[in-house]
Amino acid sequence: MIVILDTTVFSSDFTCSGTAWRVLAHASKAWGLQIRVPEVVVAEAVGGYEREIGHASLALDRVATKYSGRLGLGQPFEDLLGTLQERRRDYQERLTQLIEDLGGTVLAPPDVPHMELARRAASRRKPCDQKGDGYRDTLNWLLILEIAQSSPEETIFWVTDNSTDFANEEKDNLHEDLLEDLEGVGAASRVRWFSDLSSLLLSLAASHYDESSDDLRNVQDNLQRGAIAEFINVSVLPSVVKKLVSPRRCALPLDALKPEVLAVQGVQGLELEVKGVAEQGGAFAEFSFTAETLIGLDLADTATELPEGFERGDGVDRSATVLKELGFQGLIELDSYGRPVSGEVSNIGALIDDPGLEPWKSKGSVLASLQAALSGLQRHSLVDSALLESLPRPKIDPGLLDALRPKIDPKLFGSAVVSPKIWDGLRPQIDPKLFGGPVVNPKILDALRPQIDPKIFEGMFPTVNALKRIADSSAFASSFRLSAAQTDLDDDGGDVEEISGEEGDGDASDV
């Protein structure tokens, strides 16, 4: 059996020190589990841890600024900030070592063409979302398909709480796109999805439970239910405060946004069932109980009418709150005397008779009902064929059709209806003699041209002899001499204003 872990498994417990991890450390050897972690998941887990360290450092720095001076705690705050940065730097090394301690292996991404990733994103094929985002999730999924093909005898468990991208509408199985992928590689029955590590361990424990085990029988006989209930109240429930819950599972309004647990009021009806052996003669058990739980949430539409039991928020923290009874399930580790060692909640959900579940069931069934209806129309006729066969057919006399045909006497068409000579009579009769000679006498064009006498223009232009007489005249000669004398005066430095721009500096005033 191969267990492949997604980022959500690490982000819920970055140090891998919770009860589920402790049980997994023992079960992986006892049950022969092969732990596999995609390299993409390691990178995402490291990035998430670094962001959390950054948030913690910022919050601590604000507290230190306010209190370190007047309380004399400057050095302790400084040491703590240094520790946070040191933990951030070596987290990848520590995480890799934790995986190796579990007997796990870090796997490189699959060698797939970029166009394969691009096609899945373009077609919005899961695990891509409706925007086409989902590059890292798609790499992880293609790695699962690759492992399924290369290990045809192995059952594969994919552990991720990312139900938005991997699960169907009802959140009870893988999405239809992914099931189709699995069928394509012949692994539809060998790959199972679990939302968290605790659910996986409890499921596997059922198939490995040994009633004859002395250790299990000893723990079962020595269960200290009172001590376990008190342990859950004091040590387990505080960890769920501020934890986000599923609107569907908790039967909250359809438009509820980021609901979280604000408070839990005690354990009621605690049930325990020992599931398997843990380290040092101990065991782990599944617990379940109910508790009054205060949930805070926001609404996509603040005008939404709230169901009974909900109250409007103060408009500062959350839009609405509700106090309702919810069911809690989880995992608890016990020592050989049946005393609790550690525990954690794995699931919080509404009770089976909660009326708030109905809108979610209706929402999930609308599409399925439509698909079923369309499929039914394709498989079945709208009218039963047997019913059509049973209907009496009307009796029609074949002679009726002959009677309905029109009777036309062929003799009507024995001769031409229209005499061919009628067409000659309809043609217009025009005498060709009308076009025997020219309609217009060509000489009329010559008559229309204007007759202009060339002698009219004589004397309008001076002849060469006339120009010669002007040049020889005394008036013309004296005028020419005066102009030449003025030119000589200008050359001798006469005071004449320059208007040419050729010697200027290019400024507009020179032009």
CA 396-401-405 angle, 5° bins = 160
Indicate if the pLDDT at residue 433 is higher than 70.
no
- The C-alpha atoms of residue 219 and residue 66 are separated, in whole angstroms, by 50
Residue 487 has a pLDDT of 43
From the CA atom positions of the chain, what is the Rg in Å? 50
- The C-alpha atoms of residue 101 and residue 21 are separated, in whole angstroms, by 11
pLDDT in tens, 435-445: 565 555 666 66
Task: Write phi, then psi, for 283 (nearest 5 degrees).
Answer: -155, 170
Extract the tokens encoding 469.
Answer: 């007489």
Q: Which residues contact 200 (CB under 8 A, 6 or more apart)?
A: 3, 157, 159, 194
CA distances, 213 to each of 222, 272, 275, 276 (Å): 14, 18, 11, 9
Mean pLDDT of the chain: 77
Contact predicate 29/103, CB 8 Å? yes
Q: Which residues contact 110 (CB under 8 A, 6 or more apart)?
A: 139, 142, 143, 145, 146
Counting Cα atoms < 13 Å in the Cβ hemisphere of 40 gives 17
Extract the tokens encoding 145.
Answer: 């398909």
pLDDT in tens, 237-292: 998 998 889 999 999 988 888 899 999 988 888 988 888 777 666 788 889 999 99
Contact predicate 326/302, CB 8 Å? no
Average of pLDDT values for 201-222? 65
Confidence of residue 67 (pLDDT cuts 50, 70, 90): confident
Prediction pTM value: 0.62
Contact predicate 20/346, CB 8 Å? yes
Task: Out of 35-44, 119-128, 225-234, pick the least confident.
Answer: 225-234
CA distances, 223 to each of 149, 219, 287, 308, 457 (Å): 44, 6, 12, 40, 142
Phi-psi region of 128 (alpha: psi -120 to 50; beta: other; left: phi over 0): beta
* 222 vs 407 pLDDT, higher one: 407
Nearest by Cα to 260 from 228, 298, 227: 298
Indicate if the pLDDT at residue 501 is higher than 50.
no
Q: Which residues contact 45 (CB under 8 A, 6 or more apart)?
A: 7, 10, 11, 14, 95
Indicate if the pLDDT at residue 214 is higher than 50.
yes
pLDDT in tens, 366-400: 555 554 444 444 434 444 555 445 555 556 566 65
* 466 vs 173 pLDDT, higher one: 173
Indicate if the pLDDT at residue 48 is higher than 50.
yes
Residue 374 has a pLDDT of 46
Please report, to the nearest 10 degrees, the dihedral formed by the alpha carbons of residues 306, 312, 313, 319 taken in order: 30
Nearest by Cα to 21 from 198, 207, 209: 198
Indicate if the pLDDT at residue 312 is higher than 50.
yes
